[in-house]
Amino acid sequence: MAAIKWEGVFPAVTTKFHANEELDHAEMEKHFSFMIDSGCHGLVTCGSLGEASTLSFEEKLAVAKTAVKVANGRVPVLANVSETRTANAERYVQEARDLGVDGFMVMPSVLYAADAFEAKANLRTIAKAAKLPIMVYNNPVTYKVDLTPADFKELSDCEELEAIKESTDNIRRVTDLRNAVGDRYAIFMGVDDLSFEGLAVGADGLLAGLVVAFPKETVALYKLVKAGRLAEALKLYQWFMPLLHLDVSSKLVQNLKLVEALVGAGNENVRRPRQPLRGADREFVVQVVQQALATRPDVSAYL
């Protein structure tokens, strides 16, 4: 089991489509390169932001394969595991490992609101099949399953589980986790508009969204906080905040794909039932991006 350095900024990349909803691997290659070249420290494919719910088993593997090819060992590639049946998840991690991913992000249970006992059993089963490092993606807001610090303490003996993506929307959880399990797990903040706070209370990295359009600013934020340059980091964060809020929305995919399109880092193609933003929702995002670009700070000195 190769080591993953659990720190820095890992983008939960968007999945790129042609207008006819087919996968656009060329566009993904371009975008994954953009992430790595901008200083990101890892890639996570087919997460919530990657429209996992509309992708087939095979498509998810294909996207992971493209990411592995682009990364080429420069940064670790994590394939998100979003199968709704345990047996399928076991098969998924085996096939993904065979094509070269470095690890996995695993949701405790998708669609079915498993209780903690079931969710932990599910994680252990997947971990055993994966034989690779895993970041557990704990998101009770969207997926209705919450693993508490006590649950993660109980899972400590499951060695594949190395990191936690903290998406409870409850910043206190980082401190409660540290108090419960110390440094047993790396902690990544999974909520964009809690990223400064998360790093301030000791998170090791960011599992980020807006990074898909603003990678350098995200990396700069990470580096400034880690360097203890709080005042500069806070100023950057205040500028970034209206954009970061776009990640916390049932329309996060469409929001971020529109942001990508507006900054030249992608297009708005999504798979139905999702549709691109319309009307006031769209105007709001356009206005946020225009305002951000008009006041964009120069972060080159921080990288």
The residues binding a second copy (CB under 8 A) are 21, 53-54, 84-87, 109-115, 117-119, 121-122, 125, 144, 171-172, 175-176, 178-179, 193-194, 196-197, 200-202, 228, 230-231, 234, 237-238, 241-242, 245, 250-251, 271-275, 278
| Cis, bond preceding 140 (omega within 30 deg of 0) | no
In terms of C-beta density within 10 A (0-12 exposed, 13-18 middle, 19 or more buried), how is residue 20 classed? exposed
Nearest distance in Å: CB 190, a second copy: 15
Find the distance separating the first CA and the last CA of the chain, reported in whole Å: 31
Triad 251, 10, 64: Cα angle to 5°: 80
Distance CA 60, CA 243 (A): 28
> Contact, 34 vs 71, CB < 8 A?
no
Question: Chain centroid to CA 65: how far?
Answer: 17
Q: Assign 20 to helix, strand or coil.
A: coil
- Long-range pairs for 179-182 at CB < 8 Å and ≥24 separation? 179/149, 180/149, 180/150, 180/152, 180/153, 181/149, 181/152, 181/153, 181/156
What is the per-residue burial (b if ≥16 Cβ within 10 Å, else e) of 146-177? Answer: bbbbebbeebeebebbbbbbbbbeebebbeeb
* Residue 42 or 190 having the CB closest to a second copy: 190
* Residue 74 or 201 having the CB closest to a second copy: 201
* Annotation says 137 is catalytic: yes
Q: Which residue, among 183, 201, 182, has the nearest Cα to 191 in the 3D structure?
A: 201
Distance CA 1, CA 139 (A): 26
* Annotation says 165 is catalytic: yes
Nearest distance in Å: CB 244, a second copy: 9
* Catalytic pick among 65, 92, 137, 222: 137
Distance CA 113, CA 111 (A): 6
* Catalytic pick among 16, 165, 223, 257: 165
Nearest distance in Å: CB 89, a second copy: 9
Nearest distance in Å: CB 264, a second copy: 25
* Residue 29 or 158 having the CB closest to a second copy: 158
* Residue 38 or 122 having the CB closest to a second copy: 122
Nearest distance in Å: CB 290, a second copy: 16
Distance CA 61, CA 112 (A): 23
Torsion of CA 234, 243, 81, 23, to 10 degrees: -140
Active site residues: 137, 165
